[in-house]
A and B are shown apart, each in its own frame.
Chain A
């Protein structure tokens, strides 16, 4: 299996405050990995550091190439789609415009049109609402839209920051099912940050547990889910 993302000794800073203390982890191509941890552990910061949205040091390699000090918008062009916390929906634009924005770096107009149709097939509710302002969508629909927007990039790697946040349990189940499908069928490598550890571990095949800016545990998602000690001390369920 080839390694798609390799993060070594990642340290990130907000002003003088250090949020990550030498994080190292890697993602295999085609894997679905979850990054777990409590509030303030550094999960979001890790995703932001990968996309150079926070000051950081360390080495991040994507498909063997160092991302270095590239700007966020250039990192996206490598095929890294980031669904940020709070979804980042362009609320005053229509659903369809949001999808077009996801593909704004692509030049193949025909492909974009067919991909929009593909997204409507994945998420029928978006088709019904395609001319509606994205801000009028429910939380669950907006999260679907955010995932669809990220997929419009035809990403090789998708980073999701707490996709379950603020959603009803049933909606979360739906969403996670779709993520699993995308991972298997479209061969998109996924890194999902979650507080809902139980659900994330069911979905993922690999898991990392992070505490105060350090990786404290890593391994097969099933093993971690089955290890009562880890569950109690780090995941709280």
Chain B
């Protein structure tokens, strides 16, 4: 039983990271109808920036906040420079754009910081949380920071005018423009926020997976699995999906014989395919009906 509780709690902790990644993916998907394959690489690059800042002597939380701000601006810049011109381009052009972005960020990180694995600090420490062996303080910190982020985002989208405008722009762009919303900037803002959310995920998971240019590959696939499970049209679903995938991943690794650590990733992929076959809209998504 203790093993079970332990695995579930650890699953919630990594699930928090998947939830962040899924949320970032969904935010961009809502805005431009494309999956950002480079979301993980953007998060990785942000994490390297925070690491560099700490190398230069900036304290952890200072580096954290500066990285958030830089990621936000970086996300907006990527949208303005690369994806705004592609807004009316066919889907494959966009996919090529995302793959290019992936490759550019990945190799730039390798070029600047090389491909060796680096230690990444945690401000929470890694002792047992509240004296319990079930979960470490860092894992508790991951859950705590994510919950704070989610609550903050909820209030932003539910109770601020700009949050309302962003929701309107994502759900009905034409109507949004007719009430005077600059939908193009709302998309850019969505990119900025997605980049910032991703950077939080990167900085929180880096002490676990270690810092290197390919650190987010697996994490992003779980993020996609979470987003698909929860429904790509539902930010709330993405978050729930993140936690579910985290728990599922751990339990499958522990209890299904032969899965272990090596086969965890295929499980995420199997999950994506099963959801797409059985319930394509995900747990909380809307069916999208297109008039032809």
State the A residues within 8 Å of B (CB): 51, 53, 71-74, 76-77, 81-82, 84, 88-90, 92-93, 97, 100-102, 104-105, 149, 153
Contact = CB atoms under 8 A, between A and B. Distances in A.
Contact of B164 (A72, A104, A153): A104
Interface string B165-209: 101100110111111111100000000000000000000000000
A100 B172 contact: no
Interface string B147-173: 000000000000001001101100110
Interface of B: 161, 164-165, 167-168, 171-172, 174-183, 286
Nearest to B182: A73
B17 to A, nearest CB: 28
B180 A88 contact: no
Contacts of B181: 73, 101, 104
* Secondary structure of the B contact surface, majority rule: helix
15 contacts: A53-B177, A76-B177, A81-B178, A84-B178, A88-B178, A93-B164, A93-B167, A93-B171, A97-B164, A100-B164, A101-B165, A101-B181, A102-B179, A104-B179, A149-B179
Given A101-B168, A153-B180, 11 more contacts: A72-B178, A73-B177, A73-B180, A81-B178, A92-B171, A93-B167, A93-B171, A97-B164, A101-B179, A104-B179, A149-B179
- Name which of B161, B168, B177, B286 has the most chain A CB atoms within 10 A of its CB: B177
Contacts of A74: 180
Contacts of A71: 177, 182
B171 A76 contact: no
A105 B172 CA distance: 17
Contacts of A93: 164, 167-168, 171
A82 B180 CA distance: 10
A100 B175 CA distance: 13
B245 to A, nearest CB: 25
B178 A76 contact: yes
Contact of A53 (B174, B176, B183, B286): B174
A87 to B, nearest CB: 9
B207 to A, nearest CB: 39
Contacts of A105: 179-180
Given A53-B174, A88-B172, A92-B171, A73 B183 contact: yes
A84 B174 contact: yes
A213 B86 CA distance: 33
B177 A90 contact: no
B178 A82 contact: yes
Contacts of A89: 175
A1 B182 CA distance: 34
A51 B179 CA distance: 11
A88 B179 CA distance: 10
Contact of B175 (A77, A84, A97, A153): A84
A90 B182 contact: no
A89 B177 CA distance: 13
Contacts of B177: 53, 71-73, 76
Given A100-B164, A104-B164, A104-B165, A77 B180 contact: yes
Nearest to B158: A97
- Which 8 pairs of residues, A with B, have the shortest CB-CB distance? A88-B175, A105-B180, A76-B180, A72-B177, A73-B177, A82-B178, A73-B180, A101-B179
A63 to B, nearest CB: 17
A181 to B, nearest CB: 22
Contacts of A100: 161, 164
A51 B161 CA distance: 23
